[in-house]
Amino acid sequence: MDSFLQVFSSNIVTCSIEKNTDVLKKETKFANNDYQKDTGRDNYRVLEKYPKVKKILLEKYKKFAREELNYTENFVMTTSWITKIETGEYSQQHCHKNSFYSGIYYFDDYEQDKGGKLEFQSPLLNLPDFYLVPKEWNILNSNALVITPAKNLLVLFPSYLFHRILPYHGTSIRRSLSFNIVPTGSYGSGDSSS
């Protein structure tokens, strides 16, 4: 093949956060998951208590939006929460409505070989009429992408992507910070202006 064009991609970005965010390890309130009772709306704005960390993460997204996606709009973080997964737990597949981009930040220490990985489902999964199984999966033909949590890893992704936490088998609690981002101010054009 002479050339290959990747069209209509869903941009998932990973990067490292170099600044100290260990203050998040002190947080004791968590958002609900399948195993816990609803903990209230306040737990979905956890970064309001940690404005320096909020600024670090939002600036990382803004840099990506400006330099890679070529957006000139401004963005704000709407919600943020800490998810706690214990041994044997996982999350259901879900996406984040009412947001543009989302992020997951791994601020803790993780047992690398104990599961609890982040899995993204391809948004194209249900579009083809034929189901073919390749002899080997790769980035061009796969139905999912799996990311292993690591300390200071930030994952940014379009909020429409379905994702889940795979079963966790570690002995310590697996915690991560999630957040949502939306554009603010004037954006769009013509009859699609906001």
Q: What is the pLDDT of residue 34?
A: 47
Going along the chain from its start, the domains and CATH numbers come out as 13-185 (2.60.120.620)
- What is the structure's pLDDT at 95? 96
Contact present, 99 and 159 (Cβ < 8 Å):
yes
**Euclidean distance between CA atoms 47 and 24, whole angstroms:** 9
> Does position 33 have pLDDT exceeding 80, yes or no?
no
- Give strand ranges (E) for 25-147: 74-85, 101-106, 118-121, 144-147
The pLDDT, as a whole number, for residue 36 is 43
Q: What angle do CA 176, 179, 180 make, to 5 degrees?
A: 155
User: Which residue type does 25 have?
Assistant: K
**Quick one: tokens of 60?**
């990382």
Nearby residues of 100 by Cβ (< 8 Å), 6 or more positions away? 75, 158, 159, 180, 181, 182, 183
Gap between the Cα atoms of 6 and 64, Å rounded = 19
Q: Which of 59-68, 102-111, 118-127, 151-160 has the lowest mean pLDDT?
A: 118-127
For the whole model, what pTM was predicted? 0.91
**Cα(111)–Cα(150) distance, integer angstroms:** 9
DSSP class of residue 124 equals T
Is the Cβ–Cβ distance between 41 and 48 less than 8 Å?
A: no
- Neighbouring C-beta atoms of residue 104, cutoff 10 Å: 20
**Residue 175: which pLDDT band, with cuts at 50, 70 and 90?**
very high
Tokens of 20: 């100290």
